[in-house]
Amino acid sequence: MDKTSVWFDMAGNITVNNKGNKTVHICTTGNDKNHFTVVLTCSADGTQYLPNCIFKGLFRIQMSENLSKEPAMIVYDSFHGHLEESVKTKFKQHNFHLAVIPAGLTSVFQLLDVSINKPFKVNLRKEWHEWMSKSGSGITVVGNLKRARISDVCKWVKRSWDAVSDQIVFNSFKKCSISNLLDGLEDDMVYEEIDKLIMEYEKENLEEFDGDVEIVSN
């Protein structure tokens, strides 16, 4: 389980433009600094549970789904809110054993940070670009592009999360040494296919462009 910030505008750091143009304009709704939080949860067998979106000012929404009645270990970071006794007690009531990742080690043991958030956000950016290409939510009375509706971004999140393969999730647990065999046979295994799949997410659209187009870093 982990949370990640998602921005209402996801233009990215590259732009496709005709060669030779000295000025490259990026079309956004002006909400590139406005964000919400997405909570993603998955299990070692590759199962992905429904994502949860948390928006500023919406306090009546809570994560109440019972994921499982079987004993389980939940792995999350050492954010102070996760360490509250009330939180620990709630998890124990639902038969969860807690494994808290020490500060500074999330890049090693937090599988969402290691190999899942990347393809998830690549998928999200594709959703945003497709939405923008269809004129988004329209224009305000002063002529600015409207921000995406909450209902729209929730659909983007759901589709983007569903598009992350269960194999990536399964291998991510192995890569972070969370679900490895206890006999140690998998301790030295490196799951290079995860990195290859992530690279494919970034490259798959670039082959569609011809020689009159160049990729410009913002």
Question: What are 69-92's pLDDT values in tens digits?
Answer: 778 888 888 888 778 888 888 888
Q: Which range is most confident: 29-38, 153-162, 173-182, 209-218?
A: 153-162
Overall domain count for the chain = 1
Residue with tokens 């050492």: 78
Residue 93 domain-assigned (yes or no): no
Q: Which range is most confident: 100-104, 119-123, 175-179?
A: 119-123
Residue 85 domain-assigned (yes or no): no
Instruction: Give residue 215's pLDDT band: very low, low, confident or very high (50, 70, 90).
Output: very low
Residue 198 domain-assigned (yes or no): yes
Burial letters 159-185, b for 16+ CB under 10 A, else e: ebbeebeeebbbbbbbbbeebbeeeee
Containing structural domain, residue 48: 2-70+103-217
- Residue 122 CB burial class (10 angstroms; 0-12, 13-18, ≥19): buried
Q: Which residue would you say has higher pLDDT here, 20 or 217?
A: 20
Instruction: Give residue 37's pLDDT band: very low, low, confident or very high (50, 70, 90).
Output: very high
DSSP type of residue 61: -
The mean-pLDDT minimum among 69-73, 88-92, 97-101, 107-111 falls in: 69-73
Residue 135 domain-assigned (yes or no): yes
- Across the range 132-141, mean pLDDT stands at 73
Residue 58 domain-assigned (yes or no): yes
Residue 80 domain-assigned (yes or no): no
Residue 96 domain-assigned (yes or no): no
How far is CA 21 from each of CA 25, 39, 217, rounded to the nearest angstrom? 10, 41, 13
Residue 44 domain-assigned (yes or no): yes
Flag whether pLDDT at 40 surpasses 70.
yes
